[in-house]
DNA sequence: ATATGTACCATTATTACACATGGTACACAT
DNA sequence: ATGTGTACCATGTGTAATAATGGTACATAT
């Protein structure tokens, strides 16, 4: 599995990582049970910060593409390929489009919608 | 009708204007059909920019609290008092809370929700 | 000892937006 | 001419969030 990072790419580094690992799963370059390089190892190879790699791994694990097994390392999730089909961001966009379309029909300004949105996001913080 | 603006108040100037005019309607200080000071006039009295006053008037007209009649000036809307009861911002907050609660249940990060939100808001721009 | 994932603390640069400001101009009717 | 609402152009300032960086520390098991 070869991973390449393009610093000039406007896409965030952690997103590039997520995308490439997902692609590798889809193309059978890595299969369920295969071990992934450790966070520090991969960060060292790509010459980027380990926190950036950790962020990508965290997202991939949440989506059940990979599985972190503590000190034993990280592995491809048994149902990784099936879970790759579900694009959370696409789903988020769909749901938000529905909601925002409704709000705009009421005559709400973009500013008002943004402000109300930020208000909700900030108040639900523990 | 007396309107006062507090520059030290963190609340935006145009919001202060909207709130005070709504309050004046609710307290019967101004009644349907009454004329409001012109945008330039009020801006001059309060020593603020006319665009700020225009923004407040625009929002009030959208919510049918006032009615702009072109060269004749601006007047209190016939059903101003009833329309004061409906708080658009409160309604926006409710709807967005529903939507965001659903998204968070899916495990989406605050960052991901914000990014998807901005994506939707920017794509609907003409 | 070494290496694993993970959880905190923090700073920096960039980006985007809200807010308010100023100027200019138009169509309209008194 | 004057004043009405309205629509563009534009700028500056402050705030807030993302993205990425760095350091430190912990429990785990080899």
Tell me the pLDDT band of A3, cut-offs 50, 70 and 90: confident
Is the residue at A4 inside a domain?
Answer: no
The partner residue sitting opposite A120, judged by closest CB among B59, B97, B124, is B97
Minimum distance, in Å, between the CA of residue B4 and any CA atom of chain A? 23
As a whole number of angstroms, the distance between CA B94 and CA B99 comes to: 9
Is the residue at B8 inside a domain?
Answer: no
- Count how many domains chain A has: 2
In this prediction, residues A60-64 reach a mean pLDDT of: 97
Same domain, A111 and A78: no
Q: Please state whether strand C lies within 7 Å of residue B70 at its CB atom.
A: yes
pLDDT tens readout for residues A63-111 = 999 999 999 999 999 999 999 999 999 999 999 999 999 999 999 999 9
Same domain, A49 and A106: no
pLDDT higher at B66 or A122:
B66
Q: Look at residue A125 in the predicted model and tell me its pLDDT.
A: 44
And the tokens for B50?
Answer: 């006319």
In this prediction, residues A25-37 reach a mean pLDDT of: 96
Same domain, A96 and A80: no
Maximum C-alpha span of chain A: 55
Same domain, B95 and B75: no
Same domain, A34 and A72: yes
Q: Look at residue A113 in the predicted model and tell me its pLDDT.
A: 98
Is the residue at B55 inside a domain?
Answer: yes
pLDDT tens readout for residues B8-37 = 999 999 999 999 999 999 999 999 999 999
Same domain, B79 and B57: yes
Question: With contacts defined as CB-CB under 8 Å, which chain B residues touch A120?
Answer: 93, 96-97, 100
Is there a contact between B34 and B76 (Cβ–Cβ < 8 Å)? yes
For residue B5, the SS3 value is coil
Q: Look at residue A85 in the predicted model and tell me its pLDDT.
A: 93
Domain boundaries, position A26: 13-84
Residue A104, CA distances (Å) to A45, A109, B95 in order = 47, 7, 12
Q: Please state whether strand D lies within 7 Å of residue B58 at its CB atom.
A: yes
In the sheet with A35-36, reading across from the earlier edge strand, the strands are A35-36, A74-76, A66-68
Same domain, A76 and A96: no
Same domain, A102 and A43: no
Mean pLDDT of chain A, nearest integer: 94
In this structure, what CATH number is given to the domain that contains residue B62? 1.10.10.10
Same domain, A63 and A22: yes
Same domain, B57 and B94: no
Is the residue at B22 inside a domain?
Answer: yes
Same domain, A70 and A24: yes
| Strand A74-76 versus strand B66-68 pairing type | unpaired
Torsional class of B35: left (φ above 0), alpha (ψ -120 to 50), beta (otherwise): beta
For residue A67, the SS3 value is strand
As a whole number of angstroms, the distance between CA A112 and CA B124 comes to: 15
Tell me the pLDDT band of A126, cut-offs 50, 70 and 90: very low
Is the residue at B6 inside a domain?
Answer: no
The partner residue sitting opposite B95, judged by closest CB among A89, A99, A115, is A99
Q: B124 vs A113: CB contact, 8 Å cut-off?
A: no
Same domain, A27 and A78: yes
Parts of chain B with a pLDDT under 50: 125-126
As a whole number of angstroms, the distance between CA A95 and CA A118 comes to: 17
Q: Hey, is the C-beta of A86 within 8 angstroms of any chain B C-beta? A: no
């Amino acid at each position: 599995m070869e991973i390449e990072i393009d610093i000039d790419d406007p896409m965030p580094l952690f997103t590039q990582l997520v995308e490439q690992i997902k692609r590798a799963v889809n193309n059978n370059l890595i299969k369920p049970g295969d071990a992934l390089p450790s966070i520090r190892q991969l960060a060292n190879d790509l010459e980027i910060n380990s926190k950036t790699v950790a962020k990508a791994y965290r997202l991939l694990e949440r989506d059940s593409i990979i599985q972190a097994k503590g000190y034993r390392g990280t592995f491809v999730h048994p149902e990784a390929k099936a879970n790759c089909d579900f694009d959370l961001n696409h789903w988020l966009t769909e749901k938000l489009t529905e909601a925002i379309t409704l709000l705009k029909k009421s005559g709400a300004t973009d500013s008002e919608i943004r402000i109300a949105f930020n208000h909700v996001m900030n108040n639900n913080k523990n």
